[in-house]
Every structure is written in C-alpha cells, then in structure tokens.
Chain A
C-alpha cells in the first residue's frame, strides 16, 4: 500500500489521531476563555446587583441615595434613543446599500466609496461623538438633546448596516434578478418585489448586531451631552435625556460602595433589554425566512 509497509502506516496513524485530539482540545480551550469570562460577568453582576433589583428600582429615576435610585429614566431614554437610531440608520443604510449594489455603475469611484464605508465601521465611537457634537449639537443647534444623541448614534452604526445590507443584497441569486427583469419588470420593481424580500433576513441580522452595539455605547453620548441626572422622561425630541450606559457609568464613578450594586442592577436591566430586542428581531427574521 502506497509502497510502504502496513506497519509503518499504522504506527504513524496513532500520531495523526492523537494530533487531531490535541487540536480539538486546544480549540475547545479557546472557546472556553470567552465562555468563562461571560459566566464570571454574569455571576458578578447578578450577585452584586440582584439585591437592588426590585419594582422600585425599575420605576424611579436617579436619586441622591442608593436605596431610592432607579433605572426608569435611563431605560426609557435608551429605548427612545434606539427608536430614533433604528429609524434613521435602517432607512438611510438600506437605501445606500441598494444604490451601491443595484444602481451604481461599477467603477473605481464606487469601489472607493465601498472601501471607505467598511473603514468607517472601524472608526472609534468617540470620533463619531465629536462629529455629532459639531454638527447636530452646534451647527444644527439641537443642543444636548435626544435627537442630537439619536442622530449621532445613527451615524455610528450606519456603516455597519450599509455593509451588512450590501452583503445580504449580494447574496440574492442572480437568477432571481434575471427572472424578474426578463419579464419586463423595472429595476425598482425587481428590487421591491424580489430582491429586498429575499435579502431581508440578512439585513435584519445586520441591524440587530448594529443596534446591539448602539445600545451599549457610552462614549459618544457623553460627548453629545446625555445628562447624568435627569428626573423626568424626555417629552419631545428636543428634550434632555439620559441613557442606561450613562447612568451606569455615572453610578460606578461614585465613591460609596452601595452605588456599585446600583450599577450592577443597571447592567442586569441593560442586558435584559438587549436580550429582549434581539429576541424580537430574531422572531421577525424567522417569520420572513419561513415565507421564503
């Protein structure tokens, strides 16, 4: 067999099989590192925060004493912020992706734009904060308001949504384009009736990832002036606001030990809201996938 004796092959086989086992173990170890730290995070947050987590905590705003402080204003602020972010970033992001993938002619210039959008996705969030400060807070004169924060965050996740939507559109088989165009449909009819429905699960996945990033962002919000002590809910787009990460950050910065527990409770709520948002998005996505 292969010009070698059976014995030699058998001997080496032991070694090869062992090597395979070692590699499997190493990969498992790599996965465990992430898992262990996740478990540690949950453990620490839960043991510290659970004591302060009660109805009162959910329904009250910031307060001078740890026992009275709550996440309500921050939570609603975050949710309103995410609504603004989702509306602006999804509409503009998907529309840009459609233009780049379906309409724009393929030349050096569009290629340049593509590369730069991908690069933008890696720009530090604090830079977007400064951009938002210049444009939305000062030039547009929105001040330190909900809409300025929302638009800044929308810009921050826009590149992620554009790139994910482009990928999703590109993965729609060319066959389907041809079938539709071949019957005399216009490009827009083809996009609206065939391409977008087929790309929707991918677009939603990208949006989920992007919004999950946005809801935990703190740095740009500090710059565009999310307040740390707001006692009432924002009543308009031009109202002052705060968000969960800002509240949590503020609490952890205080010297008294009790505030750490209040922050821990905040993190639990933040994770819960994040999980809820993701589940809703996954449900929507599955619904569309079934229709395919």
Chain B
C-alpha cells in the first residue's frame, strides 16, 4: 500500500485513542514498504466479554512488527485473529475486517486452510509432534499433497537450514523431536512453519519458555527471516521488542494505543500510557 493509505490509517487510529498518535517513519523509510496485512475496525468478543476494541493496523511486508503490552491486553488474541486460530474457541465473535494481500480473510469464500498456509504460526511453548524431526518438518508439505521423497528431502533440508538448526540436527533427522532441548524444539517448530513457505509468520511469545542462549538464537533467526518473510511477534519483553523489531505496537486493555517505528515508540512515545508502560510505571 502507498503512504497515503497509511496516513488515513493513522488518522483513524489516532482518532480512537485519547491522544493523536503519529507514525513518523520518514527517517526509517529505507524502502517503500508494502503492507501484507491490513486490519480495519477489528472488534472481538469472547461471549459477552469484549477483548479487542476497534483495532486498526497495517502490517508491513518483510519487516518485524512487535506487539507489546501487559498480560491480558489482547496481544495474543490479536495475532491469533490474523490466522483465524482464535476461532478455535467456539464463543468468539468478530466484527471489522482483516485483509491479507487485499483479500478479506473473513470472507466465506476465503478458505481458512489457505490463510493458514500463507500466514504461518509459531507458538508460545514448543509444540513439536511426537514424531521424528524429519516427519515434523515434512508434515506441512505432506498435508498439502507433496509425496515425493526427493522433494520432501529438499524441503526438510532447506527449512532446517533456514531455521539455523540443520548443522545441529542433520545426523538426527530420525530422532523423535520430543527428545530435543526446548530451544531446539522451538527452532524445529519454526522450520516446520517455514516448510509450508508462508508469507507471514506469526510468533506468539516464541521465547517465553526458552533459556537466554536459545532465546538469542531465535532472535538472531528472526533477523535473518525478515529478509524473506513478514514477521509479527508478540512479546512481553520490551527489550526484546526493542532489539529485534522494526515497528512496535502497544496494546492495552484490548486497544491499540500506539503503533510506530520501534525506535520512535521507545524513545519518544506519543501516548502517556505508552510512556508509563515502557518506563515501567505499570504492567
């Protein structure tokens, strides 16, 4: 999308929060960035509890977008809405629209299966299948109908390399993924998500159950992956958001309070609530 539409978007976001929030991106405009997903006026309810209020947000292509906020602010709910995973809870209702590359994902003709092929996800705690490393990574391609051994071999190798774990595991492809360390499991899960060749990768606090070394490996990986993929990462760790993201969104009580270039948001927050949060006054 062009800058103009982004500006309209900003005005709208600004209008909904108590203070106008400006997305100043002039200095970081390294390339004319397109948007891969656009969220408009998104509301979400769990039964009669509203969890998200009028969210408007453009997700830029091939950049890392971090979502921060205190527990229960709706950040996990929000990214699970982007691949419609949130609807696994039967009482969920939504209004508004989310577009993936200009297609409305809530449209009845737009298949959930297609959406999730394009918008992959890495979860909070590593969730490999109780199968071998190979079968884990080959799961996605197989589901999509690839049967040839040579093709699968190639995908598995490439995905594990892209997830920076090939060298550690190339001799252990037949080992059960449950026997790996937590950090390795999480990178296998990332490789498994990559094997489907998604466009967007959603990461829901992917390092929250990992030790510091594994965490830094995953963080490095994210930097590598953004060359090819658009990444949205939920984190409750503000330092992590500052380290690895290009843009940051701050959620509070189901509202998107501020969404800006990461450096700007942390150095010069426009909203009082953002400032309070990043300076540690609450949350």
Chain A positions within 8 Å of B, measured between CB atoms, are: 105-106, 173-186, 189, 193-194, 197-198, 291-292
Q: Is the CB of A173 within 8 A of B127?
A: yes
Question: B196 contacts which of A105, A181, A184, A197 (Cβ < 8 Å)?
Answer: A184
Q: Does the CB pair B143–A183 fall under 8 Å?
A: yes
Residues of chain A within 8 A (CB-CB) of B123 are 175, 178-179, 182
Complex formed: what's the CA distance from A179 to B116 in Å? 11
Q: Which residue of B lies closest to A179 (CB)?
A: B127
When the two chains form the complex, which single residue of B114, B120, B144, B178 contacts A182, counting CB atoms closer than 8 Å?
Answer: B120
- B127 and A175 within 8 A (CB): yes
How many residues of B are in contact with the other chain, CB < 8 A? 26
CA distance A252 to B139 in the complex (A): 59
Other-chain residue from B88, B130, B144, B189 in contact with A181 (beta carbon distance below 8 A) = B88
| Alpha-carbon separation in the docked complex, A292 to B140 (Å) | 19
In the complex, A189 Cα to B141 Cα: how many Å? 12
Residue picked from A174, A180, A182, most chain B C-beta under 10 Å? A182
A-B contact pairs, 18 of them (CB 8 A): A106-B90, A175-B123, A175-B127, A177-B88, A178-B88, A178-B121, A178-B123, A179-B189, A180-B129, A182-B85, A182-B120, A182-B193, A183-B120, A183-B139, A184-B115, A185-B140, A186-B113, A193-B139
CB 8 Å contact bits of B85-119 with A (1 = contact, 0 = none): 10010100000000000000000000001111100
Which residues 174-190 of B sit at the A interface, judged by CB distance below 8 A?
A: 178, 189
From A174, A184, A198, A291, name the one whose CB has the most chain B CB atoms within 10 angstroms: A184
Contacts of B139 in A (CB 8 A): 180, 183, 185, 193
**Chain B residues with CB under 8 A of A178:** 85, 88, 121, 123, 127
In the assembled complex, the CB of A285 is this many whole angstroms from the nearest CB of chain B, namely 15
Partner of A175, one of B117, B125, B178, B193: B125
* Inter-chain contact B193/A176, CB cutoff 8 Å: no
State in angstroms the CA–CA spacing of A292 and B179 once bound together.
11
Given contacts A184-B140, A194-B129, A198-B130, contact A179 B90 (CB under 8 A): no
**Docked-complex contact A176 and B113, CB < 8 angstroms:** no
Among A105, A106, A185, contact of B113 (Cβ-Cβ < 8 Å):
A185
User: By the criterion CB–CB under 8 Å, are B127 and A183 in contact?
Assistant: no
Q: Which residues of B contact A198 (CB under 8 A)?
A: 130
- Chain B: which residue is nearest A194 at the CB level? B129
CB-contact partner of B117 in A105, A106, A184, under 8 A: A184
When A194-B129, A198-B130, A292-B130 are in contact, do A182 and B121 touch as well, CB less than 8 Å? Answer: yes
The 7 closest A-B pairs by CB, nearest first: A184-B117, A175-B127, A183-B140, A182-B121, A184-B116, A185-B143, A292-B130
Contact A183 B130 (CB under 8 A): no
Contact in complex: A189, B189 (CB < 8 Å) = no
**Considering only CB atoms, which chain A residue lies closest to B144 in the complex?**
A184
B235 close to A (CB within 8 Å): no
**In the complex, residue of chain A having the shortest beta-carbon distance to the beta carbon of B139:** A183
**In the complex, chain A residues whose CB is within 8 Å of the CB of B90:** 105-106
The answer to whether B113 touches A179, judged by C-beta atoms less than 8 angstroms apart, is no
- Which partner residue on chain A sits nearest B142 by CB separation? A193
List, in ascending order, chain B residues with CB within 8 A of A186's CB.
113, 143
Asked if B192 is an interface residue, CB under 8 A from chain A, the answer is yes
With A106-B90, A183-B196 as contacts: A189 and B127 at CB distance below 8 Å: no
Q: Which residues of A contact B83 (CB under 8 A)?
A: 182
- Which residue of A is nearest B127, CB measured? A175
Q: Which residue of B lies closest to A185 (CB)?
A: B143
Of all chain A residues, which has the CB nearest B130?
Answer: A292
- Judge whether A181 and B85 touch: CB under 8 Å: yes
Residue of B nearest to A198 (CB): B130
Q: How far is the CB of B282 from chain A (nearest CB, A)?
A: 31
Please measure, in the bound complex, the distance between the C-alpha atom of A177 and the C-alpha atom of B144, giving whole angstroms: 17
Bound complex: CA A106 to CA B121 (Å): 26
In B191-236, the 8 Å CB interface with A consists of 192-193, 196
Question: In the assembly, what is the distance between CA of A61 and CA of B80, in Å?
Answer: 66
CA distance A195 to B128 in the complex (A): 13
Q: Give A177 Cβ to nearest chain B Cβ, in Å.
A: 7
- B58 CB to nearest chain A CB (Å): 23
Further 20 A-B residue pairs, CB within 8 A, beyond A173-B127, A178-B121, A185-B143: A105-B90, A178-B123, A179-B192, A181-B85, A181-B88, A181-B116, A182-B120, A183-B116, A183-B139, A183-B193, A183-B196, A184-B115, A184-B116, A184-B117, A184-B196, A185-B140, A193-B139, A193-B143, A198-B130, A292-B130
